[in-house]
């Protein structure tokens, strides 16, 4: 997934903002892409699995304390994401969208699809989401996430 994105960016010489040639910006993108596997992806997927897939497979809702624990783990990494990666910048690598932003938002849509609106009480995160959607195109973003956003209706 990450390797494929980097390959495609290089092979098709995408606009520089996606995977910047400037070393500090590229390092920022690489840093996020390395960090997110265990953090945003790990905790967001865990919430999705816990809240949507496991109850679907077992026919039993999970105990509230288990769901609370999983949600708290995600909240910890969301705080880290805001403080360490977004800081006061429009996007992770600076003033333009990059692959890091795209990967981050895609991963965050899993818990959203499970009914956890992680943007609701995080204005910085919500504003960043709006900028990413705008940069990609709102219609394309909605089309790309149509399946996952309907997962809770299973």
For the ranges 32-36, 48-52, 67-71, 136-140, the lowest mean pLDDT is seen at: 48-52
The boundaries of the domain holding residue 122 are 1-14+21-150
User: What CATH number has the domain bearing residue 94?
Assistant: 1.20.1050.10
What are the DSSP calls for 81-129, one per residue?
A: IIIIIITTSSBTTBSS--HHHHHHHHHHHHHHHTT--TTTT-HHHHHHH
User: 94-133, pLDDT tens digit by residue?
Assistant: 999 999 999 999 999 999 999 999 999 999 999 999 999 9
Angstrom distance (rounded) from CA 86 to CA 129:
11
**pTM, to two decimals:** 0.92
Average pLDDT, the chain: 94
pLDDT at 56: 87
**Arithmetic mean of pLDDT, 62-83:** 95
Tell me the C-alpha distance between 98 and 53, whole Å. 31
**Which tens digit of pLDDT belongs to each residue from 17-49?**
999 999 999 999 999 999 999 999 999 999 999
Tokens standing for residue 130: 């709006």
- Structural domains counted in the chain: 1
Report angle CA 29, 9, 46 to the nearest 5 degrees: 55
- Cα–Cα distance, 133 to 63 (Å, whole number): 34
Cα Dmax for the chain: 51
């Amino acid at each position: 997934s990450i390797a494929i994105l980097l390959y495609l960016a290089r092979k098709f010489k995408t606009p520089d903002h996606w995977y910047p040639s400037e070393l500090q910006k590229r390092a920022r993108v690489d840093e996020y892409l390395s960090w997110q596997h265990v953090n945003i992806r790990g905790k967001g997927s865990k919430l999705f699995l816990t809240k949507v897939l496991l109850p679907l497979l077992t026919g039993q809702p999970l105990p509230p304390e288990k769901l609370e624990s999983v949600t708290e783990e995600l909240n910890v990494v969301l705080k880290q994401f805001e403080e360490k990666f977004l800081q006061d910048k429009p996007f992770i690598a600076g003033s333009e969208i990059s692959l890091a932003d795209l990967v981050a938002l895609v991963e965050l849509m899993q818990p959203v699809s499970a009914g956890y609106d992680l943007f609701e009480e995080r204005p910085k995160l919500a504003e960043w989401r709006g900028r990413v959607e705008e940069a990609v195109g709102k219609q394309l973003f909605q089309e790309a996430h149509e399946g996952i956003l309907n997962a809770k209706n299973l």
